[in-house]
A and B are shown apart, each in its own frame.
Chain A
Amino acid sequence: MTWNRENKWRAGLVVLGVIFLFAAPNVFQLFTIINMTTAIAFAILALSLGLIWGYGGILCFGQTAFFGLGAYAYTVAAINFGGSTWAILVAILVAMLVAAVLGYFVFYGRVSDVYLAVITLTATLILYSLMRRTSGPEYKIGKSLLGGFNGITSPPLNMPWDTSQVLFPEHVFYVAMAALILAYILCSWLVQTQFGRVSVAIRENELRAELLGYDIRFYKMALFTVGGGIAAVAGVVFCNGVGRVTPDVFNLYNTALTIIWVIVGGRGTLIGPVLGAILLFYLTSSLGTQAVLNNNLVLGAILILFVLLVPKGIVPSFTEWWDNRRALRTSRRKEVRMRRRRSRLAEANGEAGDER
């Protein structure tokens, strides 16, 4: 990892995140903190898609499949184990396993582009259909009933060493924020490894990468699996924030929303999706408190204006603006310097002339 400009930015963001982690519970009211946990869960989910789509070119229209599987696996496991620590691990493993199997299925079948989008979307919708119908005592895994459309109450997180020490909501916020920061660091590191650079090469040109001798199928599957694992972490945070997991996590609205976050934030960046998710979460949630205009109307209009005015997403547009400004400033500075030098020269000449 080199200490280039991008990494300086990233380090700065991590520091900001850590400050926020410790400051937020002292600044905001408790209910704000509780609600923030949900927003952070979405941010992690967006990050996972930002990684595989933005850096691997994998247009996954069903990232919520792993998000939901993570939430369900955590809840079911936590109920069965009577504690949350191993349940988190189970959630991540289940999601990664499913991602690996699905990834093997599609990437080794050379499915890509919109066809890949449809397969992943379909996989999510299958989970949606199946989970909705699991109401009744016959649908259970171990001690945990699946609860159908109404879903399952998720047990709260507890201290790793003592299952009776349950975390308070503000502590869940710490865990959520820490998870977001760690996931961000992980992704930042990953995209700079050999593995990450090859993934980007595949995104840019599959054929070229393959001709260079890389097994693109394996790289895609591996990246997809990592993305699934991060989405599962998001799922665990989500069901702790909401207190419940329902089949709605798999529905079309949520899965499309994930894509929207990444587009709004900006593809090809890591912080973009995070900001996109948080921004849209707070936008929709504040829209819900007004009753003047239909929410769909307002949100739709905002998104349309956004796509026309900020075509590349927030972060790339911001970076561009910043670069332009800096370029302008440096060129202006250069100009000022030149002018000064010129005037100094002229002065010198003038003085010389005066002397003459």
Chain B
Amino acid sequence: MSLDRRSVLKGASAATVALAAPGIIGRAQAADTIKMVSILDQSGGLDIYGKPMVDATKLAVEEINGAGGLLGKQVELKLYDPQSTIQFYTQYATQAAAGDKAHVVHAGITSASREAIRPTLGRFKTLYFYNTLYEGGVCDRNTFCTGSTPAQTVEKLVPYCMKKWGKKVYIVAADYNYGHITAQWVKKYVADNGGEAVEIEFFPLDVTNFGPTIKKIQAAKPDMVMSALVGGAHVSFYRQYAAAGMNKNVPIASTTFGVGNEHTLISAEEGNGMIVAYSYLQEIQSDANKAFVKRFQDKYGAKAPYLNELAARSYEAAYLWAEGVKKAGTTDQMPVIEALEGGVSYAGPSGNISIEPKTHHAIQNVFLAELNDQKFTILESHEQQPPTDTLLVCDLKADPNQAKFYFENGLEAAGIK
């Protein structure tokens, strides 16, 4: 592995030399606006995630500009819609970094899209924010991952639910990297809390008939189901589960249900009683959040989507970056990175959020909530949770020159089998 990685690195560094030059020249011509680029899917299958994120990002930039901008300049937001296609991510990232000379890029929903653009933005030395909850493990000095990771949410959710419902857990997850890794974390925390994961089942993202699995769950007789299902097709699981009367007998907990606003796509009686864990929910009862929700709904009116973690975090990340720029006194990549590492924090709708310097992940609040009548009720909140999963593998203080994704192929790097 070392040999080919070296040759890859060589390629990357050679490319850096070739590509950095025009980038630097371009940026030297002082622009009168600060350029922020957002690359998020507004059409295609991922638009249920992308659209609220874009809406929230727009609101944040509008507010920052309304309050006088950054460093006396206005922030210019440029939106690209990759249409749920990977090659457009790479393309727009190149365009943003080399063409638009963006000062910061907020982009990516799936891990695949993030991994497609991360090397490009690193090569062009363009600061990168990834604001989606994901499996954890990215270790890259140029990249800031502000979403929650499994150790922050699963670690809290599993013991709470096991205490409430019992120790036999059935895991259903989407059949791709995120699902596999989340399932591994769930299994670990179930075992840590003295429970048993009776079965783990994975579903391709386009499955809509969950009948055979529901029968299997009935045969296994678990105390609870832990779901890491993702996307529009998988909403069918919750509906068919309820249609078979299972939601009354075996309750469901999830770290993914609600983030695509699934709870509005199923009826109240189908969803009641489900428990989720996120670092933000629209129903948080703080004044800051109530004001944020009101501003958002005023701007988008009747069509305003539910504000989930992805949307709120896109909003907060824009502010977090702005705080970094303010502290650094410049928009240049390295000073802003150092400012963010140096303990910049932002008190937003979800509470206080700051960057953990070793991993460039967020230290954030985590909330457990129960679904009632298509609305969440907060059950517990956990203040200032560090990204303990990524901390197991990543230390950018000790080795700043890495740009790896440690959990790309499972949790071996963290020593979890």
Contacts and interface: CB of A to CB of B under 8 A. Distances in A.
Whether A and B touch (Cβ < 8 Å) is answered with: yes
Given A150-B111, A295-B81, A166 B7 contact: yes
Contacts of A238: 87
Given A31-B94, A243-B90, A137 B412 contact: yes
Contacts of B54: 291
Given A153-B119, A242-B116, A168 B204 contact: no
Contacts of B14: 166, 168
Interface stretch (B15-23, B255-263, B323-331): B15-23
B233 interface: no
Interface stretch (A54-62, A218-226, A282-290): A282-290
Contacts, number: 157
B204 A132 contact: yes
A35 B91 contact: yes
B88 interface: yes
Contacts of B116: 151, 242-244, 246
Nearest to B14: A166
A121 to B, nearest CB: 14
Contacts of A155: 4, 7-8, 11
Contacts of A80: 4
Interface string A127-152: 00100110111000001010111110
Contacts of B128: none
A156 interface: yes
Interface string B152-186: 00000000000000000000000111101100000
Contacts of B15: 156, 166, 168-169
Interface in A96-134: 129, 132-133
A164 B14 CA distance: 10
B40 to A, nearest CB: 10
B408 A149 contact: no
Nearest to B99: A31
B180 A136 contact: yes
Interface residues of B, number: 54
A79 B42 CA distance: 35
Given A149-B176, A243-B119, A30 B98 contact: yes
B175 A133 contact: yes
Nearest to A136: B410
Contacts of B80: 288-289
A169 B119 CA distance: 14
A148 B177 contact: yes
Nearest to A133: B175
B18 A288 contact: no
Nearest to A128: B204
A296 B47 CA distance: 11
Contact of A30 (B1, B19, B111, B409): B19
Nearest to B5: A79
B95 interface: yes
Interface in B368-417: 408-410, 412
A160 interface: no
Contacts of A83: 7
B208 interface: no
Interface string A284-307: 110111110011100000000000
A114 B14 CA distance: 48
Contacts of B205: 132
Contacts of B91: 35, 38, 285
A79 B3 CA distance: 9
A287 B7 CA distance: 37
A253 B206 CA distance: 13
A34 interface: yes
B408 A150 contact: yes
Given A164-B10, A294-B43, A29 B90 contact: no
Contact of A145 (B10, B43, B82, B409): B409
A158 B11 CA distance: 9
Given A147-B408, A153-B8, A248-B112, A132 B175 contact: yes
Nearest to A293: B43
B410 A135 contact: yes
A242 B86 contact: yes
A289 B85 CA distance: 14
B229 to A, nearest CB: 14
Interface of B: 1, 3-4, 7-8, 10-11, 14-15, 18-19, 22, 42-44, 54, 78-83, 85-88, 90-92, 94-95, 97-99, 110-112, 115-116, 119-120, 175-178, 180-181, 202, 204-205, 408-410, 412
Given A163-B7, A289-B80, 6 more contacts: A82-B7, A132-B205, A135-B181, A135-B410, A242-B90, A296-B44
